[in-house]
Amino acid sequence: MKILVPVKRVIDYNVKPRVKADGTGVDLANVKMSMNPFDEIAVEEAIRLKEKGAATEIVAVSIGPAKAQETLRTALAMGADRAILVETDEEVEPLAVAKILKAIADEEQPGLVILGKQSISDDSNQTGQMLAALMGRPQGTFANTVEVDGDSVVVKREVDGGLQTVKLALPAIITTDLRLNEPRYASLPNIMKAKQKPLSVKTPGDYGVDIAPRLKTLKVAEPPVRQAGEKVADVAALVEKVKALGLA
């Protein structure tokens, strides 16, 4: 079974995003970029399934600028077998990403597509579900545990009240939540080896997908700033404050 793993190049998890002064977006110039953390978990899960013998090949895909090659090389260094970059300098919305991934899935015929549940940039949380709908296949979103079992996959999902387990017929789409696994670091020899692994470059046009945005961003602004209040000296002073709030 082949596993397709889409990965996105986003602002690094530890960087505090700044809104551009002209209100057109977030300033990404000279900012550290990394693989979306949920996508790292997706790559790791694919590798573990391959190590367990449930998968034979892992194909990483990224849709983005030429620099997204770095993100794909990271996936290859972790253990993906080959990579596809669908290169574009435009912002591509989840719906268009899902359409491109659908076209790639039609070619590659993966048994599983494992995606991050959301990117920490746009926070949309849509792509996996949309891809599943376009492919007419089941989805195991916010996965906590994944077990491949013959021609189906059992996914334990993180839901608001706790955990829910569903059984999905393969091929299926999975989106990762935080507790699915802890992604490995790529070793230096594997980083070197990853440079030799195949990486093909395509364009959205190759897949016949129109990536024109459906949502117009009119403005991007800073959120209202919360002011720091006061520090109290001791527990007794805190107790007074808490009582004044009517809590006790």
Partner 1 sequence: MKTLVLVEHDNTKLNDATLPVVTAASKLGEVHLLVAGHNCGSVAEAAAKIAGVAKVHVADDPAYAHGLAENVAPLAAGLMADHDAFLAPATTSGKNIAPRVAAHLDVMQVSEILSVEGPKTFTRPIYAGNAIATVESTDAKLVITVRGTAFEKAASEGGSAAIEAVSGPGDAGISSFVGAEIAKSERPELTSAKVIVSGGRALKDAETFEAVITPLADKLGAAIGASRAAVDAGYVPNDYQVGQTGKIVAPEVYFAIGISGAIQHLAGMKDSKVIIAINKDEDAPIFQVADIGLVADLFTAVPELTAAL
Residue 204 near partner 1 by CB under 8 A: no
Site for partner 1 in 98-127 (CB under 8 A): 98, 117-118, 120-127
Residue 132 near partner 1 by CB under 8 A: yes
Residue 216 near partner 1 by CB under 8 A: yes
Residue 230 near partner 1 by CB under 8 A: yes
Size of the site for partner 1 (CB under 8 A): 82
Tell me the C-alpha distance between 48 and 228, whole Å: 45
Q: Which of 31, 66, 133, 201 binds partner 1 (CB under 8 A)?
A: 133
Site for partner 1 in 13-52 (CB under 8 A): 13, 16-17, 19, 25-26, 38
The least distance separating partner 1 from the CB of residue 29, rounded to whole angstroms, comes to 15
Using CA atoms of 146, 10, 87, 77 in order, give the dihedral in degrees to the nearest 10: -60
Residue 89 or 226: the one with the smaller Cβ distance to partner 1 is 226
Residue span binding partner 1 (CB under 8 A) among the ranges 41-49, 52-60, 80-88, 132-140: 132-140
Tell me the C-alpha distance between 44 and 60, whole Å: 11
Residue 66 or 238: the one with the smaller Cβ distance to partner 1 is 238
Q: Which of 169, 185, 201, 206 binds partner 1 (CB under 8 A)?
A: 169
Q: Which two tokens stand for residue 28?
A: 């990404």
The least distance separating partner 1 from the CB of residue 6, rounded to whole angstroms, comes to 15
Tell me the C-alpha distance between 106 and 103, whole Å: 5
Residue 151 or 187: the one with the smaller Cβ distance to partner 1 is 151
Enumerate residues 6+ apart whose C-beta is below 8 A from 29.
Answer: none
Residue 199 near partner 1 by CB under 8 A: no
The least distance separating partner 1 from the CB of residue 32, rounded to whole angstroms, comes to 14
Residue 93 near partner 1 by CB under 8 A: yes
- Residue 57's closest CA among 68, 65, 45, 47? 47
Q: Do the Cβ atoms of 228 and 222 come closer than 8 Å?
A: no
Distance set, CA 237 to CA 49, 241, 244, 248 (Å): 55, 6, 11, 14
Q: Which of 57, 134, 145, 190 binds partner 1 (CB under 8 A)?
A: 134
- Write down how long the chain is: 248
Tell me the C-alpha distance between 71 and 191, whole Å: 12
